[in-house]
Structure 1
Amino acid sequence: MPVPLEPPAPPATNDPWTDLRAELDRWSALGRRASFWWRDDDAVAPSPELDRLLALAARHDRWVALAVIPAEATPALAARLARTPTVVIQHGWAHRSHAPAGEKTAELGDHRPAEAVLAELIAGRTRLASLFGDRFRPALAPPWNRIGPHLSARLGEAGLTVLSGFGRREAGAGLTRLNTHADPIDWRGGRGFAGVDRVLAPILKHLAERRTGGADPDEPTGLLTHHLVHDPEGWIFLDALLSALGRHPAAAWPDPDALFGARP
């Protein structure tokens, strides 16, 4: 069977939605599918915003990985997630920064003894497993997407098998990496919706790099959301993005077992 040739790339347009369809068309022309996944941070309890997130996921028949803060997680959240396809992963311990003044916020930096931080992570993993049962996957999403390299190398000691950060994952990093690549919130500009161009740009870049060999072709392109913070424009964008991806045959959504491994 002849190998599909790389289709010529049409020039970028002024419409990022058109560019997204064109990029996925190029995947289709190669007989390939682009995998996606969705992570949402900072859940601790039921809320109207969480209801909106779950309703959006259900409308598009998608599962979402909720990064839950163990120290504040409530049994009510576990009850709310029952009978949904939601997956729970660990969001640090208490989402508090221990970084010295003048450094970027980080709960899981190498500022404290690793044994103390690992003890917190073990307590968090145990609590989430108790609350959420087999809905919980032993994956860590560090608060602020920051973790010290020495601590990262020892996460297996805390029973955590997957690390989820932000940006293209590093090859040969040892621990399984499942990163996110686009965040709709403008955290430095008022915490509102960042705009269609700014949010779709990293998605388009990651897809193109995966397709052409500039990034791991098997790395799913990840969407990062924060349901407690999104403004109306952000919710409208998420609905539009899920609709656009759901309509295109080249967009694939692997199930949780394919990304996190079989349930414990």
Structure 2
Amino acid sequence: MNLFDDARHELDIWADSNLKAKFWVRDDDAFEPSPYLERLRDVAVRFDTKIGLAVIPGMVTPGLREFLAQNDRHFYPMPHGWKHINYNRGKKPAEFGPDRPISSMIADAEFALQLFKECFSSSQPIFVPPFNRITPALVRALPGVGYAGVSLMPNQLEWRLLRLGSRMLWRGVVRMTEFKRGPRIDVHLDVIDWKARTAQKRRIISDLLVQQLRGRRLGFLAPDAPIGLLTHHLAHNEDIWQAIDDMLGFLRSHEAVEFIDLGGWIDDHVTNQLRIAHK
């Protein structure tokens, strides 16, 4: 039995229903060029996808700016916090967690935005919180700071609802929350098992993929909401690189899968939001 058979079966249902499942890739913690980043670029080329690259504004080197200028077809920069500092010592790590004053977090978000625009003015600033944690108060403040959107991971409640819904086959009883003042483009499948420091088991990846696909098909999420794959190029060993190849190779082989033009997708959503705001 192929490890992706369940996911293939779900995608076959999408194909039979004339639906397209949208996907994208986000890679975190970039601040300088490296052989790992070059290898990630090769992945983008091999699988014909533009990767959302979460760059740390307070650590960006001139070398990274030059590298991304030369590889703008393969990467879409996204501001990854400010300096990727963990302020929650002894707790789950967060740079923008609930223990900091909101004024301090807004100030850091403003510094990050200013530097990001100086480095990458061609990209819409989609805020990616380090450690995938952020206080709701800052999420609400981001549009006022000047961010076009946000990229998170689903919270525990969202995970439980989606898991329950995909098992019970309820249709549209609960709809997941959305970032109302701009695009929210999340990541859902982390290829890394952080406790074991190696690749996530392929069966787990496949099961999570089925949950995300089924949740969209049954109406818990909009069917066209992109499914995000999360990578961290600096933390990859050979098994992780192979897991990425296995997953992208499987997805690219199926007729019901489409990898979005990330910049175009974000621009369209920002334009729609502006149109709604001016009505």
- What is the TM-score normalised by the length of structure 2? 0.84
Q: Does 1:193 align with 2:199?
A: yes
Partner of 2:256: 250
The total of aligned residue pairs comes to 248
Q: 1:137, CA displacement in angstroms?
A: 2.2
Contact 2:7 2:207 in 1 (8 A): no
Q: 1:102, CA displacement in angstroms?
A: 3.8
What is the correspondence of 1:212-223 to structure 2 with a 5 Å cutoff? 212-223=218-229
Partner of 1:235: 241
CA distance in 1, matches of 2:259, 2:230: 15
Partner of 1:111: 99
Partner of 2:117: 129
Select the structure that is richer in helix.
2
Q: 1:69, CA displacement in angstroms?
A: 0.6
CA distance in 1, matches of 2:66, 2:83: 21
- SS of the residue corresponding to residue 137 of structure 1 reads coil
Partner of 2:82: 93
Partner of 1:56: 43
Contact 2:57 2:82 in 1 (8 A): yes
Deviations 1:82-136 (A, max 9, x none): 242210001100111112x4431111113222222111111111112211230x3
- What is the TM-score normalised by the length of structure 1? 0.88
Partner of 1:9: none
Q: 1:221, CA displacement in angstroms?
A: 0.7
Partner of 2:13: 26
CA distance in 2, matches of 1:88, 1:252: 21
Which segments of 5 or more consecutive residues in structure 2 lack a partner in the other structure? 160-175, 272-279
- SS of the residue corresponding to residue 228 of structure 1 reads helix
CA distance in 2, matches of 1:236, 1:127: 35
Partner of 1:177: 184
Name which structure has the greater RCO, CA cutoff 8 Å, separation 6+: 2
Give percent identity, aligned residues only: 35
Q: Does 1:143 align with 2:126?
A: no
Deviations 1:25-72 (A, max 9, x none): 110000110000110000000000000000111011110000001110
Which segments of 5 or more consecutive residues in structure 1 lack a partner in the other structure? 1-13
> Once superposed, what is the RMSD of the aligned Cα atoms?
1.9
CA distance in 2, matches of 1:173, 1:126: 22
What is the correspondence of 1:59-70 to structure 2 with a 5 Å cutoff? 59-70=46-57
